Structure 1
Amino acid sequence: MVSCLLLLPAFFSLARQYQFSNYRQQFNKAIALYNNPSPTPESDSVALQLFTACANSALAARKDYKLAVESLIKAGNIHQTYQRYSQSNQMYHHALSINSRYLRHKALRYEACLYIGSSFYFSNTMDSARHYFEMASSMASGPESATLPEQERLFNSLGAIYFESANYQQAKNYFERALQALQQGAEGYEELYVSIRSNIANCLLRMNQYNEALFIYKSLARYSINKEIILQNTAHTYFRLGHYDSALALYNQLPGKEGLNHVKALNDLGRIYIQKGHWQLAENYFDSAIAVVRKIQYPAKNKEAALALLYRSELARRQGLAEEAIGWCNRALEEVHLDFTLKNRFDIPADVSKAVSHITLFEILQAKASLLFNRYKVTGSRDMLDASVECFLKAIQTAGYIKRSFDNDEARIFFNEQYRQIYSRAVEAAFTASENNPAVINKLLYIIENYKGNALYQNLRSIELKSSAKIPGSIKVKERYTKQLLALYTSRLSSTSETDAAGLQAKILQLQVELSRIQKLYEKDPGYSFFLSEVNSPAGMVKQLQHEIDDNTALLNYYAGDSVMYVVAINKGKAVARKINMDAAFTRAVKLFLEETYSLQEGRRYNGYASAAQLYQSLFNPVNSITANSENLVIVPDGMLNYLPFDALVTDEKQRHYLLLDKTISYHYSFALLLQKSTLQAGGKNKAIVFAPYVAPDAATAGTGLPGLPFSASGLDTAGKWILKSAEATRQSFVENAPAYKLVHLATHASMGTENSTGNWIQFYPADSMNINNRLYLHEIYNLNLHQTELVILSACETAGGANSSGEGLLSLSRAFMYAGSDGVISTLWKTEDRVAALLMQRVHYYLQQKIPPQKALRLAKIDLLNDDKLSVLYKTPNYWGNFVYAGKQHYQSGITLRKYAWFGIFLLALSIWWIVRKRVVQLLK
């Protein structure tokens, strides 16, 4: 008996060894089937059973957790292959749980996150897909990242996620990063190469770079892999180019009859036949597309089916069937939204976040809104008009939701440019509704504000939220360092050889992807994630603005349509919306006025008074009830008005009476920025710093080819300023010192020389022969920390000028300093004359020392120039002084509004009366 008991431990040990050997054998058999180059459903089924049994046995033995996790991941992959996404997700989650509890194996966690992200992606659960892909991506950025498998698939998948969210530039970055990670000669190299290159071309196509996309597709045609997809994408490119016959010829070569790619082809064919006027053929193709989707995924919601229904709506509209077109739009809304059920034809989804594709939801909403607005124009029905406005508002809310998900300004600006016509249509509808209903002005303003200054506002809001986000300090340092490197490499692109440019582009790409990863870490913070998902209401904005301004201020927000200009004007007690016809006479007046003011040709007589008077009548007469009694005007311009110096307009042509003499004019990019209250802007600890590198030209400055500016620091040597002249005024001294000052003045040269802004700079003293070490480039200004700076003065040439961007105004050096956090900027729209600039800046500083707000200080300085008997009359026309403008925060004198002054006065009066009465009572009592 004793001997038998002694044998029991040995027996159990042998049993465990046999069990381990058994599930290891199961795993090896399963792997052999899994890696079979020609698998069948039967072989996959056997492999799945073996992987599952192996995982269960390993877990039961509590021995080889690594083998269990590997088995579960492989089992999940087999389920995913057969679109059993629920089962695959269970396997991946189980694998993650075991790994987290027992192993903490980075590579296995990476794989599980990668594959579960893929599973969610293919089941159209995009938020979850993105979450897990980003988890995998964060692991792929560490020192051990080189050992992690399938990074090319990860970056390709992330690119697809960004593509679906309409962030095409960032999607292209990820696809190119995937291409870098792809190892030549690796298993499946050719298939992945073709797929990734095709995806890059898809991004170029969406960014309207048709020829570049076509070049890539044609270069991929020689591969035997994915020939149908390449052929279809080439056909789609021809369709986008309007080459319908070429597109049809290629589509007719496609053999595929099932799958979502076939649905896309059917939708394109239907749209081609719409353009050709073949209504029945178009209808047949759209119906076929819907039928194929239903066969594949019914009853799941699907973007391609929603698009087919949207195109059916367009077909009905073309046929003059307005009510039917609205009906198709409603069906499309039900298809694209996860929980929307139509009860009334005017119904729209409540929650814009719940969509299988937000960009598709946006397009459907705007299509329905346009149809309703067109019906209003025919029927005159107020219900139609109101429903149209509400639908447009929901579309604009969706657009805002989309743009907040973007992690770069380029994507936001491109979105505005791409969909400008939709915003214009929405503004037209809201303005029409506001004519008989002043309450709708809030909605009109909401649409305009969601279009204008959006990138600048979101950046400043983002910086503030990031400052308080509960993120490790090392991440914030890494973000700052990455941004600085990105700005440096971007700036070097404009002055490097073609050979070096390729290397710089590769570095820029990696940094852009790294910044995207860091951004996702911030988005995990509750406050930051709330900002991204919040949906602002159009209600109450007018009252909020009226609460913020004083009795002496009026706000004017212009929006330039195709042939009309809209303006929303607000003062303390009233708000109006007006329309200005941009007819040939108006456009000609703008052109003539700008030609005159922007010209500094010596000896040429200024002749802009007639056009200035005409523009004053056009722009201010419609809103005279708002502006007449307001001395301070804050203007948010748009379109061609971005180039306009408003204070150079004349109220009386014969008297040549400038608006400058009656009004203090300042500018901003949006009303939202006016309302923005930042906790970061506390005011620098020092008063003022001035940089004047060209005040005394020497051999070093002459070597730059830029002229001296002998008057640039004239009259600025007053108390409270640190003036750095000549060799003291280096780029390095600016970067080190400027952030600590309330006022920063750059009296030097600047350039807005390139269209893409990489070569735009501010010049400092040339400490060495390398231009890049002596200039501050636009991208570097964006990354400065000027949140303690109340005012930046840029008295160099054209610092307020730049490319006119949809919704963002002029992409100028001035805007870059506001982007960096400065409260306001005084800058120039065109070239300056050194003596005039010196006189104006001397007077501006004088008034600033008297605690006068910068917008008024600039106005008073200009009036002093006009009244200066010592200055030649040649320098007193607007082409010499009108270029100086102030944009930014509104500063009321001494920080107290007039209303506060009034209440303070009443308080003092009451106190005086009380004191007199008390004194008399005391005397009587005696």
Structure 2
Amino acid sequence: MVINLFIDIIHLFTARLRLLSKSHSKNQLELLIQLLQFTADNQGRSEQFYSLLQAHQYLFDHNFPSLLRNWVKSRLLELGSEKAKNLAINIVRFSNLIQRCPLGLQKSHLEVAITGYNLALEVLTRDVFPRYHADILYHLGLIYKQQHLLDFGYKSFKEAIDIIEFMVVETVEKDDIQWQRLYQEMVDTCLELKLYNQAVEYIERSKTRSLLELLVLQDLSLKMNSEVDNQEKLRQIREEIEQENQRLLLERKKLDPNIYHQSASQLSITDNTRNLFSQNLDYARINQLRQSYRDNHAEQPIKYKDIQHLLNDNTAIIELYILQDYFCLFIITHQQGEPIKWKSSKQDLRQLQNWYTRHIQLYNQDKQRWKNNLAESLQGLAEIIHIDEIISLIPHHIQQLIFIPHLLLHLLPLHVLPLKNGDYIIDRFSQGVGYVPNCQLLKIAQQKFQQQQKTNNTNSDNNLFAIQNPTEDLAYTDVEVEAIASTFTGNYSVLAKKKATKIALTKSPYKKKIYNVKWLHFSCHGYFDFQCPLQSGLLLANSFLKVIPSHADPSRYISVKSGKIDLEQCLTMSDILTWKLPNCRLVTLSACETGLTDFDDINKEYIGFPSGFIYAGSPNVVGSLWSVDDFSTALLMIRFYENLQLNHHQSSGVCGVYLALNEAQKWLRTQTKAELLKFILIKFPDVHHRIQVRVFLKTYPNDSQPFASPYFWAGFCPFGSYQ
């Protein structure tokens, strides 16, 4: 259809072309029309386009932009709205081809592309065609960057980002890779301009957008303390936006193009195209709906000074970000007016990507080799990331560190990267090392922690609810939960084995117990679904199936390495996003792969258990990055809860989750066989469990450290509030 419309436009002009003298201008005009014809042909004929351009380079002089401008301006005066739109879209494609010219860009090429984009902006206006408008601004920004006109590039990228964030409902899951590249280009531009505060702000806006898109799909809000039931209101506004878009589309189609036949002297291109699409149409309503959705859906973008206010004097953030050619990081503290910036080389990024490919392939194909090689592999990662150099940039008074990863870095245990002096990163920071998905979720976690501190200051609120071994195939989860529960002096509830069903969690008395719980502990299997992260889940009773029922809905069942599982019997990410945990201090996921996110799909990057439970109301979550060992996990968790309870009693309820977990990890890796046997005598009352442990440790010398390998202890990470 676009091709046919454009051919009509060509025919309109061909008659006039014949009247021109055989001159340089005529040759330029012929070339322009031929190039536009190739562009309109949507059959991938870019080779012919560039061949034609190469053969007529001499015609691409300083007059060509004016020729393009005058030709488009005159054509728009003769076209109806739909044909004008298609002409503008074709001009954008033409400009894209010029911008990507493989023949070697010349200044005249870029000027032609800039002219084309600016003409298209006049037709594809922000009010009527916001997504097109943002796309054109993005490409304009790229050209300005190529010409080192960074201020103009910054302005173009800023306008494009403002548009896509304003209309989050209509851009969700549409061209999201391009929009994320828009943020990357903006961050790169900020770095070139040395606008480091703004670079951090746009990184955060990029990461928050990914989370917002997840919530849009569920009609959920990222706003704190909303006065309304947001889910229903957001769903209603989204439907109204769709209806209003349809109404405007129908109204545009009704416009009579004949009323726009006016001479160029009567109307400028700006006035003409504005009238062409806007006369008798009211866009105020749809913009009002977009603003209403955004107001109810999310807070304003977080500013650098607000990020600083989230930190105390002894805590720093390391914000990581991966761009097209390099990765970078920013060290943020409460005191410094701008972050400390560090930037990798292109080679560093290639090495990081290659390292991860080898790491994940080995993990999926040969778990034993992966375990054996993990310590050496982490040493290689530390060198690629230049971790010693980065740590040296952190002010010496900093005692606590928060990582905010990006893409594949979410899947790596950054807190246990080895330093040259033989320590791990967790040894360097005395108050602990943890993670947050982004600063918006850190803000939410901090606010929820502070709210809880005001309302839950008594020991009577110090209650535990645990899910224990629902699939009945984990040897040490029973002793893990029993030992943890014993530290709560009777103030606990356990839903164990076959009783731990999804239905039980949704009914009284357990539904109310979960709503009021302070410490929520899952000791069970977990899995992460990279194809559909919202289907990732924790396996409850009746989850495993030997045979899928005949005539069953296949979307209800997925395959994991252990067999088929029934999603309706699992606690999935979709379920968790609907939970309310107003009193919960910590959710511990003593299960496999519960700290993972999907980094291959950018807009699913923050679909993970940590984000889900923080959103549900818990300021802290502990999850794992790989399939963890059952026995070492039990030991780690028992020690972790001992640390939490000790801190709880000594610090008037202020429990440092980062520190409690990090200390448990240090303890487990340094314990000798003899020390572990003493610990087990106290914590494992069951004789059968003691015998199992002795068999496990039999081959180790008494002074050896059986769990020194990072595999046994490094996989667990603390997420959320650092307090």
Please state whether the residue corresponding to 1:657 is helix, strand or coil.
Answer: coil
Pair 1:885 & 2:717 matched: yes
What residue in structure 1 maps to residue 342 of structure 2? Answer: 578
* SS of residue paired to 2:594: coil
SS in structure 1 of the partner of residue 626 of structure 2: coil
Report the 3-state secondary structure (helix = DSSP H, G, I; strand = E; otherwise coil) of the residue aligned with 1:419.
helix
Q: Distance in 2 between matches of 1:640 and 1:604?
A: 19
Q: Which residue identity lines up with residue 92 of structure 2 in the other structure?
A: L
Q: Distance in 2 between matches of 1:307 and 1:767?
A: 51
Residues 632-671 of structure 1 aligned to structure 2 (within 5 Å): 632-652=400-420, 656-663=422-429, 664-671=432-439
Which of the residues 472, 491, 501 maps onto 1:730? 501
Counterpart contact for 2:591–2:628, Cα < 8 Å? yes
Describe the SS at the equivalent of 2:542.
coil
Alignment match, 1:745: 521
Q: Give me the whole-angstrom Cα distance separating, in 2, the residues matched to 1:553 and 1:874.
A: 33
Residue identity opposite 1:568 in structure 2: F
Check 1:632–1:522 CA distance in 2 against 1; reply closer, same or farther (3 A cut): farther
| 1:592 and 1:608 in contact (8 A); partners too | no
What is the alpha-carbon distance in structure 1 between the residues aligned to residue 669 and residue 92 of structure 2?
A: 61
- 1:812 corresponding residue in structure 2: 608
Alpha-carbon shift at residue 565 of structure 1 (Å): 0.7
Does structure 1 conserve the Cα–Cα contact (< 8 Å) formed by 2:204 and 2:439? yes
TM superposition shift of 1:806: 1.4
Equivalent residues in 2 for 1:522-533 (5 A)? 528-529=292-293, 531=295
1:774 to partner: Cα distance:
2.9
- Aligned: 1:862 with 2:692: no
Residue 689 of structure 1 is matched in structure 2 by: 464
2:146 to 365, 371, 374: 374
Deviation (angstroms), 1:749: 1.2
Question: 2-side partners of 1:740 and 1:522: how far apart?
Answer: 41
Whole-angstrom distance in 2 between the partners of 1:399 and 1:363: 10
Q: Secondary structure at the match of 1:786?
A: coil
SS class of match (1:394): helix
Instruction: Label 1:332 to 1:626 Cα distance change in 2 as closer, same or farther (>3 A).
Output: same
Given candidates 322, 329, 332, the residue that maps to 2:107 is 322
Counterpart check, 1:796 vs 2:628? no
Question: What is the alpha-carbon distance in structure 2 between the residues aligned to residue 468 and residue 525 of structure 1?
Answer: 18
Rounded to whole Å, the distance in 1 between the matches of 2:494 and 2:710 is 29
- Given that residues 823 and 889 in structure 1 are in contact (C-alpha distance below 8 angstroms), is that contact kept between their aligned partners in structure 2? yes
Q: CA deviation at 1:606?
A: 4.4
DSSP-derived class of the 2:114 partner: helix
Shift of 1:637: 1.1
1:543 matched residue in structure 2? 305
Question: 1:326–1:371: 8 Å Cα contact kept in structure 2?
Answer: no
Aligned counterparts of 1:293 and 1:596: Cα–Cα separation in 2: 59
Structure with higher helix content: 1
Which letter does structure 2 place at the counterpart of 1:442?
N
| 2:143 paired with 1:387 | no
Structure 1 residue 412 and structure 2 residue 172: aligned? yes
Q: After the TM superposition, which of the residue ranges 572-581 and 329-338 deviates more from structure 2?
A: 329-338
**CA contact 1:613–1:649 (8 Å) conserved in 2:** no
Match of 1:449 in 2: 204
2:540 pairs with 1:764 = yes
- Whole-angstrom distance in 2 between the partners of 1:722 and 1:524: 49
Contact 1:797 1:832 in 2 (8 A): yes
Q: Give the SS at the match of 2:581.
A: coil
* 8 Å CA contact 1:781, 1:816 repeated in 2: yes
Do 1:796 and 1:832's aligned partners in 2 also have CA atoms closer than 8 Å? Answer: yes
Paired residue secondary structure (1:608)? helix
Match of 2:690 in 1: none
- Relative to 1, partners in 2 of residues 1:657 and 1:890: Cα closer, same or farther, differing over 3 Å? closer
Match of 1:563, SS state, is: coil
SS of the equivalent of 1:650 reads coil
Report 1:837-848 matches (<5 A): 837-848=633-644
Partners of 1:600 and 1:879 within 8 A in 2: no
Count the aligned residue pairs.
Answer: 568
Distance 1:542 1:766, change over 3 A: same
- Asked if structure 1 preserves the Cα contact closer than 8 Å seen for 2:222 and 2:298, the reply is no
Q: Secondary structure at the match of 1:444?
A: helix
Spell out the pairing of 1:690-729 with structure 2 (5 A cutoff).
690-694=465-469, 701=471, 709-717=477-485, 718-719=487-488, 720-729=491-500
How far the C-alpha of 1:587 sits from its partner, in A, is 4.2
> Following TM superposition, by how much is the alpha carbon of 1:885 offset from its aligned partner in structure 2, in angstroms?
0.8
Alpha-carbon separation, structure 2, partners of 1:842 and 1:374: 57
SS of the equivalent of 2:593 reads coil
Do structure 1's residue 310 and structure 2's residue 92 form an aligned pair?
Answer: yes
TM-score, normalised relative to structure 1:
0.53
**Residues 397, 301 of structure 1: alpha-carbon distance in 2 compared, 3 angstrom cutoff:** farther
Query: Helix, strand or coil for the counterpart of 1:811?
Result: coil
**Judging changes above 3 Å, is the alpha-carbon distance between structure 1 residues 519 and 716 closer, same or farther for their aligned structure 2 residues?**
farther
One-letter amino acid matched to 1:765: A
What aligned pairs does 1:384-533 form with structure 2 within 5 A after superposition?
384-402=149-167, 404-406=168-170, 412-413=172-173, 415-434=175-194, 440-457=195-212, 459=215, 463=221, 468-469=226-227, 528-529=292-293, 531=295
Deviation string for 1:676-726 (max 9, x for gaps)? Answer: 48977744875443333427xxxxx46xx8878444414112223322222
* Cα distance, 1:781–1:514 mapped onto 2, change above 3 Å: farther
Give the equivalent residue in structure 2 for 1:836. 632
Q: Report the residue type matching 1:855 in the other structure.
A: Y
Q: Which runs of 5+ in 1 are unaligned?
A: 1-228, 236-249, 340-352, 377-383, 435-439, 484-511, 696-700, 892-926
* Higher normalized contact order (CA 8 Å, seq sep 6+, divided by chain length): 2
Q: Distance in 2 between matches of 1:326 and 1:447?
A: 28
Q: Is the 8 A contact 1:669 1:808 kept in 2?
A: no
After TM superposition, list the pairs within 5 Å mapping 1:593-672 onto structure 2: 601=368, 605-606=372-373, 608-609=375-376, 611-612=378-379, 615=382, 618-622=386-390, 624-626=392-394, 628-652=396-420, 656-663=422-429, 664-672=432-440
- Letter in structure 2 aligned against 1:447: Y
For 1:633 and 1:777, locate their aligned partners in 2 and report how far apart those are by CA, in whole Å.
30
Amino acid at match of 2:593: E
| Paired letter, 2:426 | L
Q: Which residue of 1 aligns with 2:689?
A: none
Q: Following the alignment from structure 1 to structure 2, what is the Cα–Cα distance between the partners of residues 532 and 290?
A: 41
Distance 1:465 1:882, change over 3 A: closer
Alignment check: 8 A CA contact 1:338 1:354 kept: no
From the CA coordinates, give the structure whose radius of gyration is larger: 1
In the superposition, relative to structure 1, how do residues 671 and 810 fare at CA in structure 2: closer, same or farther (>3 Å)? closer
> CA offsets per residue over residues 461-484 of structure 1, 9 Å max, x none?
9636596456xx7xx79679x99x
Aligned-CA RMSD value: 4.7
In 1, Cα distance between the equivalents of 2:578 and 2:75? 50
The residue type paired with residue 689 of structure 1 is: L
TM-score by length of 2: 0.66
Give 1:645 deviation, angstroms.
0.2
Give 3-state SS (helix, strand or coil) of 1:450's partner.
Answer: helix
Q: Which amino acid aligns with 2:130?
A: H
* Counterpart Cα distance in 1 of 2:72 and 2:192: 38
CA contact (8 A) 2:444 2:619 kept: no
Label 1:257 to 1:827 Cα distance change in 2 as closer, same or farther (>3 A).
farther
Q: Percent identity?
A: 16
Distance 2:74 2:358 in 1: 59
Residue 812 of structure 1: CA displacement? 2.7
